[in-house]
């Protein structure tokens, strides 16, 4: 398991760089990233959350009890279009103990590369679309709390400051 960096570390605000080498080092890192996500019971985890500033993340939105897991790996992703709106209560492995509703695009089209560097494209909607937008934000140093309204953010700061009791 890799160590997950927690808010308010400034590491989470950094911009990640494009992946250019698709070798066995990348593959083992992606495997570890997925193991760390599953171990932490998350539905997504981005490379910068474990201190590696590369444009890559993993997602699996299948329910925990579902034996048929579906692991997605996205490298150098680019959201090329989006439509509709969806509000979903989001949490983040880097901000334990806090969740809030965030509004995102309901349906997106995405271009990315797989672990071998092959160019891929897909469309996603609902929970998968939300997860992709959340993780993609991490690559640009944006957290879901940055997407809250100013009022909700103030309430959040109060909640978070109460949550840290050690």
The residues annotated as belonging to the active site are 135
Taking the C-alpha atoms of residue 131 and residue 37, their distance in angstroms, rounded to an integer, is 13
Asked if 5 contacts 50 with a C-beta cutoff of 8 angstroms, the reply is yes
Residue range at the interface with Co ion (CB under 5 A); choices 64-72, 84-92, 102-110, 117-125 = 84-92
Residue among 24 and 136 whose Cβ is closer to Co ion: 136
Contact by Cβ (8 Å): 7, 94: yes
CB of residue 43 to Co ion, shortest distance in Å? 10
Cα separation, 1 vs 42, in Å, equals 13
Cβ-based nearer residue to Co ion, 81 or 99: 99
Say how far apart CA 110 and CA 132 lie, in whole Å: 9
Chain residues 90-149 in contact with Co ion, contact rule CB under 5 A? 92
Q: Which is nearer to Co ion, 121 or 159 (CB)?
A: 159
Tell me how far, at minimum, the Cβ of 129 lies from Co ion, in Å.
15
In the complex, residue closest to Co ion by CB: 92
For the record, the structure tokens of 128 come out as 């998968």
Least separation, in Å, of the C-beta of 36 and Co ion?
13
In this structure, the number of other CB atoms found within 10 A of the CB of residue 2 comes to 18
Residues making contact with Co ion (CB under 5 A)? 92
């Amino acid at each position: 398991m890799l160590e997950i960096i927690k808010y308010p570390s400034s590491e989470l605000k950094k911009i990640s760089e494009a992946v250019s080498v698709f070798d066995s080092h990348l593959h083992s890192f992606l495997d570890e990233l997925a193991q760390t996500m599953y171990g932490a019971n998350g539905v997504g985890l981005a490379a910068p959350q474990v201190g590696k500033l590369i444009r890559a993340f993993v997602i699996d939105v299948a329910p925990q009890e579902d034996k048929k897991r579906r692991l997605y790996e996205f490298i150098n992703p680019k959201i090329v279009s989006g439509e509709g709106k969806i509000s979903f209560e989001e949490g983040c492995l880097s901000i334990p103990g806090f969740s809030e509703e965030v509004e995102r695009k309901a349906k997106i089209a995405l271009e990315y590369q797989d672990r071998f560097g092959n160019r891929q494209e897909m469309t996603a909607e609902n929970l998968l679309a939300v997860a992709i937008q959340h993780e993609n934000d991490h690559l640009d140093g944006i957290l879901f709390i940055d997407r809250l309204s100013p009022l909700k953010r103030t309430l959040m700061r109060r909640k978070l400051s109460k949550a840290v009791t050690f």
